[in-house]
């Protein structure tokens, strides 16, 4: 098996690369990134002879297709807005594709390539990180236990006990987080795709060490893809919300409310620069010393519907802690492991569907959850009687 990881120098790709290298069947892993020096540095730090580094500019789709054509699978760990570019390049190259998810607009653009992927006999799995990804499969696990479905609500929460010396340490790409805090979240309400205001929250209690959280609704593809996947079973309401570690959330919310989330250029000393560009540039310069991570994350999916004429709710949960061996915090671990699992399933021919799919439409829950459990991420479900 040969697998290329685009965006391989980024935060989310590290766990993916480590997990791929755990499998002796994998003969080559390429770390591809626009930042070649960082990709090369990562390859040297890991030190596995199967690793190579390559500079890649995914805006040049023909060049990207040429780079990835000799691989079995391309894992795209890059920014959400570039997912359609890499998907089109994978199609041109005739290579199976996995990504961490894009926003609803980009996801729609990718899904429109389904017939062309099917014609080439290849598969693209969209949104195979933590959320989307594990969350979709957990939703499927809940749906499989019911006859009809009315509501699917996804909540992710994190708690971080790490002692950082840097003033801002991001659990994943800051640009993505700012989008989640500034763009209008999309939910499905009464069967209608609806936009709501950003930063709306409500209290949700989890077991320790997470405890009481206040997740905010954010823009994510799951509400739309899950609604489309299960509307034939009666699904009419879907939501996604996330509670990042409180101290980090407070800092980002403060910066966003000050206007640092804006992409509109302003005049700064005679230079036209957007507040977001300025913020990202400053944060990228921060020194991030290596410290022992102590972070916890939970994903919970509540699926409401009926079974044998009774109103019921299935609660599906997975709790994850820091991976001590690689010193990867829970949030990044939960995001980076699933694309490795699915890429290996694709390379082995275990995923039979050809075309472009969200994970709940092409992956079986049992083998996927088995692979998660082998990596210390056991999924639990509990069915309770529910009064609508």
Q: What is the pLDDT of residues 309-326, one digit of tens each?
A: 999 999 999 999 888 888
Question: Are the C-beta atoms of 157 and 248 separated by less than 8 Å?
Answer: no
Residue 121 and residue 67 share a domain = yes
Region of 125 on the Ramachandran plot (φ > 0 left; ψ -120 to 50 alpha; else beta): beta
Please indicate, yes or no, whether residues 28 and 176 belong to a single structural domain of this protein.
no
Q: Are residues 58 and 184 in the same domain?
A: no
Regarding whether 284 and 346 lie in a shared domain, the answer is no
Question: What would the DSSP string read from start to end of 15-77?
Answer: HHHHHHHT-TT--EEEEEES-HHHHHHHHHHH--TTEEEEE--TTSHHHHHHHHTTSSEEEE-
User: Are 91 and 56 part of one and the same domain?
Assistant: yes
Indicate whether 328 and 220 sit together in one domain.
yes
Check whether residue 244 and residue 302 sit in a common domain.
yes
In tens, the pLDDT along 166-210 reads 898 888 788 889 999 999 999 999 999 999 999 999 999 999 999
Which residues lie closer than 8 Å to 181 by C-beta, 6 or more apart? 198, 199, 216, 218, 252, 253, 256, 261
CATH number at residue 59: 3.40.50.720
% of the chain residues with pLDDT over 90: 81
Separation CA 117–CA 113 (nearest Å): 6
- Bridging pattern class, strands 271-273 and 355-357: unpaired
Q: What is the pLDDT of residue 188?
A: 97
Q: Does 293 or 254 have the greater pLDDT score?
A: 254
Distance CA 330, CA 323 (A): 7
Whether the model clears a pTM of 0.85, i.e. scores above it, the answer is: yes
pLDDT at 162 over 90: no
- Same domain for 364 and 273: no
- CATH code of the domain in which 200 resides: 3.30.360.10
Tally the domains of the chain. Answer: 2
Higher pLDDT, 385 or 195: 195
Joined tokens for residue 158 = 């994190």
* Mean pLDDT along residues 50-76: 97
Same domain, 57 and 150: no
Confidence of residue 388 (pLDDT cuts 50, 70, 90): very low
The tens digit of pLDDT for each residue in 365-375 reads 999 999 999 99
User: In this predicted model, what pLDDT tens digit does every residue of 91-130 receive, in sequence order?
Assistant: 999 999 999 998 888 989 999 999 999 999 999 999 999 9
Percent of residues, the chain, with pLDDT higher than 70: 99
Contact in structure between 4 and 32 (CB atoms under 8 Å) = yes
pLDDT at 38 over 70: yes
DSSP 231: G
> pLDDT at position 266, please?
92
Query: Residue 367: what pLDDT?
Result: 95
pLDDT of residue 387: 44
Token digits for 25? Answer: 């069947």
Instruction: Give the model's pLDDT for residue 58.
Output: 96
- Assess whether 214 and 320 both reside in one domain: yes
- Band of residue 386 on the pLDDT scale cut at 50, 70, 90: low
Same domain, 99 and 143: no
146, 164: one domain:
yes
Note the pLDDT tens digit of each residue in 264-293. Answer: 999 988 889 999 999 999 998 887 777 888
| Bridging pattern class, strands 295-307 and 73-76 | unpaired
Structural domain boundaries, residue 41: 2-130+335-368
Give the model's pLDDT for residue 305.
96
- Residue 207 CA to residue 159 CA, distance in Å, equals 12
What is the Cβ-side half-sphere exposure of residue 42, based on CA atoms within 13 angstroms?
28
């Amino acid at each position: 098996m040969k697998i290329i990881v685009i965006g391989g120098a980024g935060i989310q790709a590290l766990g993916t690369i480590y997990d791929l290298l755990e499998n002796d069947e994998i003969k080559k892993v390429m770390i591809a990134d626009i930042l070649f020096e960082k990709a090369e540095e990562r390859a040297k730090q890991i030190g596995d002879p199967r690793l190579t580094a390559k500079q890649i500019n995914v805006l040049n789709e023909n060049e990207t297709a040429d780079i990835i054509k000799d691989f079995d699978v391309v894992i795209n760990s890059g920014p959400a807005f570039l997912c359609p570019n890499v998907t089109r390049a994978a199609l041109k190259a005739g290579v199976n594709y996995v990504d961490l998810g894009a926003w609803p607009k980009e996801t729609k653009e990718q899904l429109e390539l389904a017939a062309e992927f099917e014609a080439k006999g290849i598969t693209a799995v969209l949104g195979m990180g933590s959320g989307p990804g594990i969350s979709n499969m957990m939703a499927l696990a809940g749906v499989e236990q019911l006859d009809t479905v009315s509501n699917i609500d996804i909540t992710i929460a994190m708690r971080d006990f790490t002692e950082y010396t840097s003033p801002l340490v991001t659990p994943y790409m800051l640009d993505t987080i700012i989008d989640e805090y500034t763009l209008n979240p999309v939910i499905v309400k009464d069967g209608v795709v609806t936009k709501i205001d950003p930063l709306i929250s409500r209290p949700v209690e989890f077991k320790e060490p997470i405890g009481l959280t206040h997740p905010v609704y954010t823009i994510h593809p799951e509400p739309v893809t899950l609604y489309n996947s299960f509307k034939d079973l009666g699904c009419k309401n879907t939501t996604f919300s996330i509670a990042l570690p409180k101290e980090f959330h407070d800092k980002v919310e403060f910066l966003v409310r000050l206007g640092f989330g804006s992409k509109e250029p302003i005049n700064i000393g005679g230079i036209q620069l957007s507040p977001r560009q300025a913020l990202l540039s400053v944060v990228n310069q921060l020194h991030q010393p290596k410290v022992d991570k102590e972070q916890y994350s939970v994903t919970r999916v509540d699926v409401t519907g009926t079974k044998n004429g009774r109103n019921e709710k299935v609660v599906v949960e997975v709790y994850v802690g820091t991976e001590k061996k690689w010193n990867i915090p829970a949030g990044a671990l939960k995001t980076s492991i699933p694309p490795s699992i699915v890429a290996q399933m694709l390379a082995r021919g275990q995923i039979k569907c050809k075309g472009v799919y969200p994970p709940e439409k092409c992956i079986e829950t049992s083998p996927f959850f088995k692979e998660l459990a082998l990596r210390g991420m056991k999924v639990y479900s509990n069915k309770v009687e529910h009064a609508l």
